[in-house]
């Protein structure tokens, strides 16, 4: 089967955190700058955009055993969103937990994902009151099953991609400005990560852009988006600095990705169209698009619903 790249949803601004839900056979993602949650169903090509009106919503993850409730980030808060997946507005939002306020700025959540045991993991960063972000003030957290937020390590700037290998008990993590991917040993029951090592460095391979979203396939290989670099890379984490493949996309700001579809062999990729720092937003209709890539010869895992 030849590789194909297909545009599915257009006119997006900053889509993030795609989540493939096995139960509903749907792809969910948020558009941070549009303050909206999206659902796309490949079976009937149904797409709906629901306005939330929340600032800095960076992920929305379905809750286990409940098709109408999601844990959603907004600003420094984690909340439970009630939404039927069909309406153009969410029905209700109830605050679940929040991070502390900080002087001269605000914490906001970044990328978030659920580990194989059902626990939410997400990084947070500080946005200055006058604009811009504070370097090395971000932190990685996880939400325990008792709804308490557990702090792991700090000195991060823009915490982003997360992935787990439940066979080897490895955790993979990205702090985008470092332009590298890191690996940890992972204790799933205790929610403890140790033995931090540098696994892959963009600078050593002359890869453009910054690492952003990340997912893992059933062979244990990592797929990483290159924000500002117009591509996806595939790496083998069983070896340090092992680049397997590059896939070029029409869009420049490749933000995140996830495997989905009936056989979990379709790669859904979100791309943005925003001004980032001094760089203007990219022109052209190929930017700000949800893409589907097929013919990759591998498959991944469905998203894990959060246990609350």
32: CATH: 2.120.10.30
Question: pLDDT by residue (tens digit) across 294-305?
Answer: 999 999 999 999
| Residue 184 domain-assigned (yes or no) | yes
- Determine the pLDDT at residue 45: 95
Q: Token pair 């811009």 is at which residue? A: 132
Residues 185, 195 contacting (CB under 8 angstroms): yes
The residue segments making up the domain with residue 53 are 4-294
How far is 142 from 121, CA to CA, in rounded Å?
Answer: 4
Residues in the chain: 308
Q: What percent of the chain has pLDDT over 90?
A: 87
Bridge partners (DSSP) listed for residue 246: 233
Rounded to whole angstroms, the Cα distance separating 68 from 45 reads: 20
Maximum Cα–Cα distance for the chain, whole Å? 55
- Residue 300 is assigned to a structural domain of this protein: no
**239 pLDDT above the threshold of 80:** yes
| Average per-residue pLDDT for the chain | 95
| Whether the predicted model's global pTM rises above the 0.85 cut | yes
The tokens of 134 are what? 């504070």
What is the share, in percent, of the chain residues with pLDDT greater than 70? 99
Per residue in 142-180, pLDDT tens?
999 888 999 999 899 999 999 999 999 999 999 999 999
Categorize the per-residue pLDDT at 277 as very low, low, confident or very high, splitting at 50, 70 and 90.
confident
Q: Return the exposure string of 245-269: e unless at least 16 CB atoms fall within 10 Å of the residue's CB, then b.
A: eebebebbbbbbbbbbbeebbbbbb
Active site residues: 212
The answer to whether residue 308 is domain-embedded is no
Structural domain count, the chain? 1
What's the Rg (C-alpha) of the chain?
A: 18
Tell me if 304 is assigned to some domain.
no
Residue 302 counted as domain residue: no
* pLDDT tens digits along 51-77: 998 989 999 999 999 989 999 999 999
| Residue 299 forms part of a structural domain | no
pLDDT for 251-260, tens place per residue?
Answer: 999 999 999 9
Distance of CA 111 to the CA centre of its chain: 5
**Residue 246: what are its φ and ψ, rounded to 5°?**
-125, 140
Any domain includes 56? yes
């Amino acid at each position: 089967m030849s590789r194909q790249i297909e545009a599915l949803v257009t006119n997006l601004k900053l889509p993030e955190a795609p989540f493939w839900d096995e139960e509903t056979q749907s792809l969910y993602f948020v558009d941070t700058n549009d303050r909206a949650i999206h659902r796309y169903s490949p079976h009937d090509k149904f797409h709906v955009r629901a306005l939330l009106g929340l600032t800095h919503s960076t992920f929305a993850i379905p809750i286990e055993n409940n098709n109408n409730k999601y844990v959603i980030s907004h600003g420094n808060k984690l909340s439970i969103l009630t939404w039927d997946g069909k309406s153009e507005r969410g029905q209700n939002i109830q605050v679940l937990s929040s991070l502390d306020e900080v002087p001269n700025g605000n914490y906001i959540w970044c990328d978030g994902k659920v580990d194989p045991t059902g626990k939410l993991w997400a990084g947070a960063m500080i946005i200055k009151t006058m604009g811009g972000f504070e370097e090395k003030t971000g932190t990685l957290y996880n939400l325990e099953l008792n709804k308490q937020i557990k702090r792991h390590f700090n000195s991060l700037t823009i915490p982003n991609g997360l992935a787990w290998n439940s066979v080897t008990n490895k955790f993979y993590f990205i702090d985008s400005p470092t332009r590298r991917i890191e690996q940890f040993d992972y204790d799933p029951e205790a929610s403890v990560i140790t033995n931090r090592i540098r696994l892959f460095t963009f600078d050593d391979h002359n890869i453009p852009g910054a690492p952003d979203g990340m997912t893992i396939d059933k062979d244990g290989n990592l797929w990483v988006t290159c924000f500002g670099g117009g591509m996806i890379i595939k790496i083998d984490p069983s070896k340090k600095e092992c680049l397997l493949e590059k896939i070029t996309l029409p869009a420049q700001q490749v933000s995140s990705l996830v495997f989905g579809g009936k056989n979990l062999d379709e790669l859904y990729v979100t791309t943005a169209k925003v001004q980032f720092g001094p760089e203007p937003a990219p022109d052209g209709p190929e930017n700000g698009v949800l893409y589907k890539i097929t013919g990759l010869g591998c498959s991944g895992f469905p998203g894990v619903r959060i246990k609350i």
